Amino acid sequence: MASRLNPYISFAGNAREAMEFYHDVFGGELTFSTYGEYGDPDAPGADKIMHGMLEADHGFALMGADAPPGMDSHPGDTISISLSGDDTMDLRAYWGKLADGGTVTVPLEKQMWGDEFGQCVDKFGIGWMVNIAVPEAGSN
């Protein structure tokens, strides 16, 4: 198996809702394990997500979990997730869904380097950057 880098987001108790939102955005297969499945099913927080994994339709993965009971979580404080490529239709669709209910910090529009680029913070406090590459001269 090849190595890959996967964003892993820590949520403050709303991992299930957030990961289901990302599933709606990106499609694919979403799986969850709860703290109760691997410990005391009656303990406080047993229904919270210990590990969530979204294997999206276009080959990337996103992971997330609720902070363990007693630990703080600060989603989005130090990371932004970047989506880039030349699939204009898919990337614009992702952008629209991620920005809906969030805050657009840079509108998705043509930039000085020639690509379309935008930044937003989704409704869960996660920063996203979308860059749609301009097709190179001579490409179809």
What's the CATH number for 80-132? 3.10.180.10
CATH topology of domain 8-66: 2,3-Dihydroxybiphenyl 1,2-Dioxygenase; domain 1 (3.10.180)
The single-letter DSSP state of residue 60 is -
Tell me if 65 sits within 8 A of 11, measured CB to CB.
yes
The first and second tokens of residue 37, run together, are 């499945």
- pTM score: 0.79
Say yes or no to pLDDT of 78 above 70: no
CATH 3.10.180.10 range(s) for the chain read: 8-66, 80-132
Say yes or no to pLDDT of 59 above 90: no
Q: Report d(CA 41, CA 104) in Å as an integer.
A: 40
CB atoms within 10 A of CB 89: 8
The alpha carbons of the chain give a radius of gyration, in whole angstroms, of: 17
pLDDT tens digits, one per residue of 92-107: 999 999 999 999 999 9
pLDDT tens digits, one per residue of 9-41: 888 889 999 999 999 999 999 999 998 887 778
Length of the chain: 140
Q: Report d(CA 31, CA 20) in Å as an integer.
A: 10
**What does 109-132 look like in DSSP terms, one character per residue?**
EE-TTSSEEEEEE-TTS-EEEEEE
DSSP helix/strand/coil, 14: coil
